[in-house]
Amino acid sequence: MNFIEYPDADIMMMDLANVLAEDLTDALHSKDRVTFAVPGGTTPGPVFDALSAVDLPWDRVNVMLTDERWVPEDHERSNTALVKARLITNRALGARFLPFYAPAEQPEEVLADVEAALLGAMPVDVVVLGMGADMHTASLFPDSDGLENALAADAPVLVPVRKPDLPDVRITLSARVLDSALRKHVLIKGDDKKAALEKAHGLSRREAPIKAVLDGADVHWAKE
């Protein structure tokens, strides 16, 4: 793990957008199409804004989430809506978005079809991940139903996750899929998340799921 500290969050967001543009360009030198996985949440928006303005062959880029809340795209908590509004726009409008959500009460009803549509885009070439102060990443939440499956060496590509304190069911790329990405970036802000990352080193993957993706990852941190 490579920990990179920035003087402020704005500089971090711009720098990460530039690094991601380089990573995607490098990946595109050796593949016709590349796959880019991005998180939802409140942190990555400014990176998406900056990256969407970069002149890349976006029509050769598959974009998918690291995880999604099981809600329709018009729901305020939809990560799909966030990515379509702030990343797949401007010069990146031509990127191909591969959705995780499909109209069904529960993800298990459509999981096989959703996952089948992703297989052609595997493996993930470049991934950006967030992290919570509880040391979750994507939707790999400690003490959640689905975590064991999502952490398994033979896990499927997508895993449903449920936890009583989550407002909705989640669907997440499994740890093995996230960890196998060629380039891994973790984007975090604030002292609480820095402390959580330090605490994670002494814990298991079940207690601190972020540990499942840290080998070889660049962690980008700014105070605020």
Which residues here bind ligand 6PG, judged by CB under 6 A?
Answer: 39-43, 66-67, 79, 130-132, 137-138
Residue 12 burial by CB count (10 A; 0-12/13-18/19+): exposed, middle or buried? buried
Residue least distant from ligand 6PG (Cβ): 130
> Minimum distance from CB of 5 to ligand 6PG (Å)?
18
> Minimum distance from CB of 215 to ligand 6PG (Å)?
19
Q: Which C-beta is closer to ligand 6PG: that of 3 or that of 31?
A: 3
> Minimum distance from CB of 173 to ligand 6PG (Å)?
10
Within 13 Å, how many C-alpha atoms sit on residue 10's CB side?
A: 0
> Minimum distance from CB of 212 to ligand 6PG (Å)?
13
Q: Which residues contact 196 (CB under 8 A, 6 or more apart)?
A: 131, 132, 133, 134, 135, 210
Nearest Cα neighbor of 40 from 124, 118, 129 is 129
CA atoms of 152 and 193, how far apart (whole Å): 25
Q: Which C-beta is closer to ligand 6PG: that of 83 or that of 111?
A: 83
Q: Which C-beta is closer to ligand 6PG: that of 25 or that of 166?
A: 166
